[in-house]
Amino acid sequence: MIKSRAAKGRARVTFTVDPRAGAQAAAVCGEWNGWSAGADVMRRDAEGGFRVTVELDAGRAYRFRYLLDGQRWDNDWAADAYVANDFGGDDSVVDLTALAEAVPPAARRPPAKKTAPAQAAKKAAPAQAAKKAKPAVKPAGTPAKKEAAAQTAKKEAAAQTAKKPAPAQAAKKAEPAARRARTPAHKAAPAQTAGKAAEPAAKRAGRTAK
């Protein structure tokens, strides 16, 4: 007979019949099943005996007996106790009182989830330190941005300065054109002078003829 603790205040009991009993069929009858011969029928095991596992309420003792071949009764050879019955024989007893007691504190395992917050705090500390260190990097980039802006402004000023001489150059280019425009007027002046000089000569020739 093997006993073990089950869930929700229950106990699991495995009943066995020794092969030396010489039975061809077996069933366990007891107070939990109303001494029924068909409730907990046993099956033959590898050793040639019989066994069946039954789940019972823990915290009490039960009387039981084995019914072999449907006609003879036999007790468990390893029962917790034997109690006389009303038929002049004895009943076997299985005691499950001890299985109802609480598990001793020393046997309890400490919950593993309690360490989770501490581990989470350790993981969060480096992340927070990294976040605090990031603002220190930002000021280092500010002078570089200002220097780049200053260089850009210098380049723009130089470009504008280079463009300013263009009107003077245009004026220089336009000056020869103006000179060329004035040239016909200068050339015409000698012709007018020749005309004026020829007119007195003609007058003088007329006077001489008279």
pLDDT in tens, 107-157: 556 666 655 555 655 666 665 655 665 554 444 445 556 677 777 777 777
Domain around 97 = 2-101
Which pLDDT tens digit goes with each residue over 160-169? 665 555 444 5
* Res 185: pLDDT: 44
Residues 72 and 151 in one domain: no
* Res 150: pLDDT: 72
Whether 105 shows a pLDDT value over 70: the answer reads no
Which pLDDT tens digit goes with each residue over 15-47? 999 999 999 999 999 999 999 999 999 999 999
CB 54, CB 15: distance < 8 Å: yes
Residues 84 and 130 in one domain: no
Residues 29 and 95 in one domain: yes
More confidently predicted of 144 and 79: 79
Q: Please report whether residue 49 resides in a domain.
A: yes
Whether 50 shows a pLDDT value over 50: the answer reads yes
* Res 90: pLDDT: 96
Domain of residue 14, CATH code = 2.60.40.10
> pLDDT-derived band of residue 60, with 50, 70 and 90 as boundaries?
very high
* Res 45: pLDDT: 94
How many domains does the structure of the chain reveal?
2
Residues 140 and 85 in one domain: no
* Res 19: pLDDT: 94
Residues 90 and 142 in one domain: no
CB 84, CB 93: distance < 8 Å: no
Residues 90 and 172 in one domain: no
pTM score, whole prediction: 0.49
* Res 93: pLDDT: 97
Q: Where are the beta strands (DSSP E) in 40-193?
A: 43-44, 50-57, 61-68, 72-74, 81-84, 90-95
Q: Please report whether residue 91 resides in a domain.
A: yes
Name the residue among 41, 34, 202, 14 with its Cα closest to residue 96. 14
d(CA 167, CA 162): 11
> pLDDT-derived band of residue 191, with 50, 70 and 90 as boundaries?
very low
* Res 54: pLDDT: 97
Over residues 180-190, the mean pLDDT reads: 47
Whether 98 shows a pLDDT value over 60: the answer reads yes
Whole-number average pLDDT of the chain:
74
Given 101, 132, 157, the domain boundary residue is 101
